[in-house]
Amino acid sequence: MTTRTRWLRAAVACAASTALALSGIVLAPAAAADQPPAVSGATSTTPSPGPLAQGDVIYQVLVDRFSDGDSTNNDTGNGEYDPSDLGFYHGGDWKGLTNKLDYIANLGVTAIWISPVSEQQPLSKDGNEASYHGYFTRNYATPNEHFGSAAELQQLIDTAHSKGLKMILDVVPNHTADYLDAYATSYSSASYQPAQPLNNANYYHHDGDCRFDGTESQEQIENCDLGGLDDLDQSNQAVSEYLINTYKDWIDMGFDGVRVDAARSIPKTWLRTFEQETGVPSFGEVFVGDVDYVADYENYEWGTLDFPYFFTTREVFSADTDMTALSTLFAQDYKYANPNQLETFIDNHDRARFLTWANDDYQRLRSALAFLMSTRGVPVIYYGTEQAIDGNGNGNEVPIANKDNRQDMTSFDESATIYTYIQRLNAVRAAVPALRTGIQREMWSDQTVYSFSRRNDDSGNESITVSTNSWDTQTRTIPLRTESTLSVGDVLVDAMNTSNVVTVTAGGITGKQITVTLPEHSTAIFVEAGTVSDYTPTHNPTTVIRVHYDVGWGNSIAIRGNAYPFTWNAGRGAHTVGDDVWEYRTERISEGQAFEVKALINDETWQTGGNVTVTGGSTIDIYPTF
């Protein structure tokens, strides 16, 4: 074991022992590796900021889609490189990511979750998709040549650490690429196989492809081929030792945590063993919306990707559904070993972009981000969210997300409105300990307003979050929690818009209360005055289209056009702002840009006459005929 490894594992054991104990996990010394090191001679030269921990904010990067630092590794001649097709390699690599670390660090996040690093089978068996994502593993012990060399990966890790950024490795111990035919117990080709030593058909399950039709058992989930990919048998000692020892070698380069792909498809006891042996906190992908199912996994790993949170939160903030669903969600937090170690998110590489579901409404995105960054758990921000990447307007998720949610990064603008908003959220989290590690307690819940507090009960540090998904301004008088030590007369400011100030007054069921007014689709994070600097969020120029027409009960207005977010193929839904007045607003279109639109009833019946010309950043009233 290297000095670096001893230091890292000692740091994990020291810094995370209490939290891990809450999860029923005890870190054990790793067994000596009996496989050749994955990266011969590679050692970290820069101390880590520490292991993944409560209070971190993770930035998830698809390496291939982020930044191309070396064009010589783009195309190996196997048909896997096509930057015009989202299903193939586009050229992003570790060198490009290293070049953009200041951009990520300036955003204020504390950790980066990168794509799997191992060598890939270039293409899927049918040739319709390349392995740019990292889930078609061929050789676990060697680096993906499209991403660069071991030395370039080490440079990425060391440079990230020097900037205070932790590094999280995406591991794929459930499956290799698809080499074996369904149910086959031998390879049909001597050349089309995984690398040694995993080119042994006895190391795999042979139960055919997974069927997620409601009849599957846990045993079937753990033994079937996910998406046709060959399912490794972790109960086989040779397989288990190889995977653990090979990933140890990668982690010893300086990774501070791991995300386990397809954790639901791996035996839970093996997940625990893997974390104990590799010596860093892990969180698994359990792609299920049921709290009872997901919660048990946190008894075997440090954390778990919080899909129940994702499904509920996305609906509430992107589609204005009943906010009491949040109350139902958080009322189940007692089922988790530690809710503050759940990885929370509003979109990712397997789900459509939030903006696509939110009708490309930047204000909805801001509100969802403020909620994400103030609730319990470790927030995960999907790359490009800060640049308002839109997923090409494609919200399809059957059977899994379309590839439009994996667009290339084309802008690294640190003045972009969503970038600066996330930057501010991270600064507020850094200034308010309760937002990082506080206990979350509900304060208010109704159809359009939800509120909770985060409080460190030892220090008394407290924040109060209030959200609304209404199109109208909302005012509520909200009692403080009995646990709160805020006093009558204390002044609180919304850290995300410090002109919004409230004072604690006497009254209510606990004797103390605040009266809060929120504009439409907004989230306020109230902290004690003087805790944070003054701040007013920036907005892009807003284009407003108002359609005046009586469509009749149960009908609606949509708008199509020739400038994104409008297209001529599908309409953007408008909402009512008064009697027979329908409105759609967008910050997407540049100020002064001329474009054309038309209104439709129910996105089916077109208004008559010619197209209507609109100028970006302006408000236009349309009085159509149909």
**Domain shared by 446 and 471, yes or no:** yes
In the chain, the percentage of residues whose pLDDT exceeds 70 is 93
Query: How much is the pLDDT for 276?
Result: 98
Domain-terminating residue out of 465, 494, 528: 528
In this predicted structure, the answer to whether residue 32 has a pLDDT above a threshold of 60 is no
Tell me if 499 sits within 8 A of 538, measured CB to CB.
no
**Domain shared by 515 and 579, yes or no:** no
**Domain shared by 486 and 549, yes or no:** no
In total, how many domains does the chain have?
A: 2
The token duo for 264 is 């639901």
Q: What is the mean pLDDT of residues 37-55?
A: 77
Domain-terminating residue out of 528, 555, 586: 528
The full 3-state SS of 418-444, as one line of letters, equals: HHHHHHHHHHHHHHCHHHHHCEEEEEE
Using CB atoms within 10 A of its CB, is residue 489 exposed (0-12), middle (13-18) or buried (19+)?
exposed
Q: Is residue 395 part of a domain?
A: no
Q: What is the mean pLDDT of residues 228-245?
A: 98
For residue 481, give the CATH number of its domain: 2.60.40.1180
H helices then E strands: how many in the chain?
14, 28
Q: What is the mean pLDDT of residues 173-185?
A: 97
Which residue of the set 261, 275, 361, 494 is catalytic? 261
- For this structure, is 483 an active site residue? no
Q: Is residue 331 part of a domain?
A: no
Q: 453 is in which domain, residue-wise?
A: 438-528
Tell me if 171 sits within 8 A of 247, measured CB to CB.
yes
**Domain shared by 569 and 610, yes or no:** yes
**Domain shared by 558 and 599, yes or no:** yes
Query: How much is the pLDDT for 18?
Result: 30
Query: How much is the pLDDT for 39?
Result: 54
Helix axes 307-319 and 362-374, enclosed angle (nearest 10): 150
Q: Is residue 370 part of a domain?
A: no
Helix axes 237-251 and 268-278, enclosed angle (nearest 10): 40
Quick check: bond before 197 cis, omega within 30? yes
Q: Is residue 44 part of a domain?
A: no
**Domain shared by 497 and 553, yes or no:** no
pLDDT digits (tens, 9 = 90+) for 469-494: 999 999 999 999 999 999 999 999 99
Name the pLDDT band for 212 (thresholds 50, 70, 90).
confident
Name the pLDDT band for 606 (thresholds 50, 70, 90).
very high
Query: Which of these, 389, 386, 391, lies nearest to 421 by C-alpha position?
Result: 386
In this predicted structure, the answer to whether residue 10 has a pLDDT above a threshold of 80 is no
**Domain shared by 517 and 442, yes or no:** yes
**Domain shared by 446 and 521, yes or no:** yes
Q: Is residue 617 part of a domain?
A: yes
**Domain shared by 524 and 446, yes or no:** yes
Q: What is the mean pLDDT of residues 523-549?
A: 98
Contacts of 323 (CB under 8 A, 6+ apart): 316, 445, 446, 447, 448, 449, 450, 467, 468, 469
In this predicted structure, the answer to whether residue 503 has a pLDDT above a threshold of 90 is yes
CA torsion 220-224-226-232 (nearest 10°) is 120
For residue 556, give the CATH number of its domain: 2.60.40.10
The token duo for 16 is 């995370």
pTM higher than the cut 0.85: yes
**Domain shared by 501 and 559, yes or no:** no
**Domain shared by 501 and 552, yes or no:** no
- For this structure, is 261 an active site residue? yes
In this predicted structure, the answer to whether residue 321 has a pLDDT above a threshold of 90 is yes
**Domain shared by 510 and 450, yes or no:** yes
Mean pLDDT of the chain: 93
Query: How much is the pLDDT for 481?
Result: 98
Name the pLDDT band for 43 (thresholds 50, 70, 90).
low
Query: How much is the pLDDT for 453?
Result: 98
Domain-terminating residue out of 528, 556, 572: 528
Which residue of the set 285, 301, 347, 404 is catalytic? 285
Alpha-carbon radius of gyration of the chain = 25
